[in-house]
């Protein structure tokens, strides 16, 4: 079984994934880091700048296909992964997807400092970023909304989120 953590940039997939792996003893992989490794150690921003987004999405897909053969693994996906091609179906067939749902306002606040690492948000001021997230998330919700499980993450602690994912994982392994 693989648990894919999905959701918009800044929703906490990587830090929560690492914490979940610590609690469960499962392996943890961050897809952005895997793509960076496979692209010769370049950062996501460098890959976007040098090769373009389409190339980056192809790399994400290749990494996803490779990970699908794993067991007992928690995967923090990049925010765009479920929204391209049939990636979401591939993840739901290989394991379960857990969507960390947050409002645009909360995401924008959390991305205040992290925006420079995200090429899609580069150069936007706070107001532009909030408007962009509102529009972009509205489009992406149709993909994220098809996750196996959704957790409403606004105003709740990391511990609450981890315990919910763990309960879900326990239910799955009991079946």
Could you list the residues that contact ligand S3P (CB under 6 A)? 9, 13, 32, 44, 78-80, 118-120
Alpha helices for the chain (secondary structure H):
13-24, 31-38, 44-51, 53-67, 87-94, 104-110, 126-144, 158-174
- For residues 56 and 116, give the distance between their C-alpha atoms in angstroms, rounded to a whole number: 17
Which residue lies nearer to ligand S3P by CB, 63 or 165?
63
Shortest reach from residue 94's CB to ligand S3P, in Å: 19
Task: Report the residue number, 68 or 120, with the smaller CB distance to ligand S3P.
Answer: 120
List strands edge to edge, sheet with 2-6. Answer: 27-30, 73-76, 2-6, 96-101, 149-152
Residue (16 or 44) nearer to ligand S3P, CB: 44
CB of 44 to ligand S3P, least distance (A): 5
Rounded to a whole number of angstroms, the minimum distance from the CB of residue 8 to ligand S3P is: 7
Q: Between 120 and 172, whose beta carbon lies closer to ligand S3P?
A: 120
Instruction: Count other Cβ atoms within 10 Å, centred on residue 41.
Output: 8
Q: How far is the CB of 64 from ligand S3P (least distance, A)?
A: 12
């Amino acid at each position: 079984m693989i648990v894919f953590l999905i959701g918009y940039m800044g929703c906490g997939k990587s830090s929560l994934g690492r914490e979940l792996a610590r609690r469960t003893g499962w392996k943890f992989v961050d897809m952005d880091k895997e793509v960076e490794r496979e692209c010769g150690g370049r950062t996501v921003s460098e890959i976007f700048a040098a090769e373009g987004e389409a190339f980056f999405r192809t790399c994400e897909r290749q990494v996803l296909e490779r990970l699908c053969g794993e067991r007992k693994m928690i995967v923090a996906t990049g925010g765009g992964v479920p929204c391209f091609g049939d990636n979401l179906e591939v993840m739901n067939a290989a394991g379960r997807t857990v969507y960390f749902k947050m409002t645009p306002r909360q995401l924008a606040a959390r991305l205040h400092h992290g925006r420079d690492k995200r090429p899609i948000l580069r150069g936007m001021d706070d107001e532009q970023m909030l408007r962009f997230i509102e529009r972009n998330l509205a489009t992406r919700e149709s993909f994220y909304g098809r996750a196996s499980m959704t957790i409403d993450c606004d105003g709740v602690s990391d511990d609450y989120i981890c315990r919910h994912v763990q309960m879900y994982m326990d239910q799955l392994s009991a079946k």
